[in-house]
Amino acid sequence: MSQAEIVSFEPATGKEMWRAPLDNVDEAVDRARRAWPAWAAKPLATRIELCRRFANEVLKESDNLATTIARETGKPLWEARTEVEAVIAKVDISVTAYAERTGQKKLDSALQGSSAVRHKPHGVMCVLGPYNFPAHLPNGHMIPALIAGNVVIFKPSEKTPATGELLMKCFNRAGISAAVAQFFVGGPEEGKALVAHRDVDGILFTGSAQVGIAINRKLASNPGKIVALEMGGNNPIVVIDTPKIDDAVTLIVQSAFTTAGQRCTAARRLIIKDSMYDAVVGQLKSLVSRIIVDEPFAEPAPFMGCVIDNDAADRMTESFLYFLSNGGKAIRHMTRPDDNLPFLTPGLIDTTDMEDRPDVELFGPLLQIVRVPDFDSAIAEANRTRFGLSASLIGGSPQDYNRFWANVRAGIINWNRPTNGASSKAPFGGLGLSGNHRPAAFYAADYCAYPVASTEMEQPRANIGVGLRN
């Protein structure tokens, strides 16, 4: 890839898929800045109607968009189709969220006039998208931002620009101009320039903690710019007493290996009571060995595709070897069938005896297993992380779940459900290295508009009752 263009490859085949020259940051921001006043002045009903038309355009394009997602990410076609469905559903959810989270309020106060609370858009919002859900996750920022009256510059991950381009064409065909919903081709340097640009009013980011921290640091001296960071997790799934071994194991597999483990909410650590270890791990090993790993359009349909590229596959392989070299015991080896392609088989490794387990997000199909003697130890182990995105408890009583919910530090806490698959009708975000207390999904409306408090009278009326000379 030259310095002047972005090139996208199909990870499952290595074939080139898309290329385009880099865009100019100043020109893109200027175009957005000039388009913003007219878009913000449109009635809310008009902006909502245009977003609904976008949903219809995505519906028309659903087969093509799902195929593009599958080709560009390597995820199975069935999963790409569920992502397209989430894009469409996001519009109605965002309309409801805007009304609930940023609704207008007006209170009459007799001689004191009235007081009101209304919301204004920030202006030019830059959305920096990830590669794992290249349509759904950025769309989860863009729809709320557009409804609120912002204009959007969307820079997709340089690994998934073809999906981003197709998504933005759906906005433009719906009647939202290419200046209001703007597709931007760029790499890391262009991303940094957008973050720092004086005429960008907000940064809505989904991606790694490393990049999110860099954004936060860059903007630390600029409190006027809204920043929403949705980062990763070192997420625990805790198993205590349950007779439902098959169901528990299925939930573990769904949590750890959906999307080849490339979800920020994926389970990275299985924390399990000693008394449940043999039964659960034995069944888990058996089920994992049945997982089909293949290219997106294979028959029968695979459960897992590949990871995003060969660099990611190399890092995962190196991480597995690190665990083996530092006290980890392989339950099921993670293997790479073809050195030239980024397919990995799901790995299981017992890290109980490791003296210093790395607190990092390993973005791929590798699950660490940690044995603990009791529930208190399980909760303590779950909290042994600087991240705080997602956690699940499998088994136990309602009282156990209440303890788990009260004591585990995470923004998403589930019971007898996977760590992933969060609802767009709820807030989505985490603590620590997982986010900056600006949850997305249903609460995205909160960072897409700011509240303005007013006291109002139709005519000026005032007096000073004390402290004046006659």
Residues serving a catalytic function are 230, 264
Residue type at 17? M
Given the structure tokens 């028309």, which residue do they identify? Answer: 60
Neighbours of 99 (CB within 10 A): 14
Please give, one letter per residue, the 3-state secondary structure of 404-426.
HHHHCCCCEEEECCCCCCCCCCC
Local structure of 118: helix, strand or coil: strand
The Cα–Cα gap between 226 and 244 comes to 46
Contact present, 392 and 415 (Cβ < 8 Å): yes
The Cα–Cα gap between 172 and 166 comes to 10
DSSP structural state of residue 134? T
- Any idea what the Cα angle at residue 232 is, between residues 229 and 234, rounded to 5°? 145
Q: How far apart are the first and last CA of the chain?
A: 82
Neighbours of 462 (CB within 10 A): 5
The Cα–Cα gap between 334 and 367 comes to 10
460 prior amide bond cis, ω within 30:
no
Residue type at 454? S
Q: Any alpha helices (H) in 9-76, and if so which ranges?
A: 25-41, 44-60, 62-73
DSSP structural state of residue 395? S
The Cα–Cα gap between 382 and 373 comes to 13
**CA distances for 313 relative to 9, 285, 320, 331, angstroms:** 15, 21, 11, 19
Please state whether beta strands 235-239 and 390-394 pair in parallel, antiparallel, or not at all (unpaired).
parallel
Contact present, 345 and 331 (Cβ < 8 Å): no
Contact present, 230 and 428 (Cβ < 8 Å): yes
Neighbours of 470 (CB within 10 A): 2
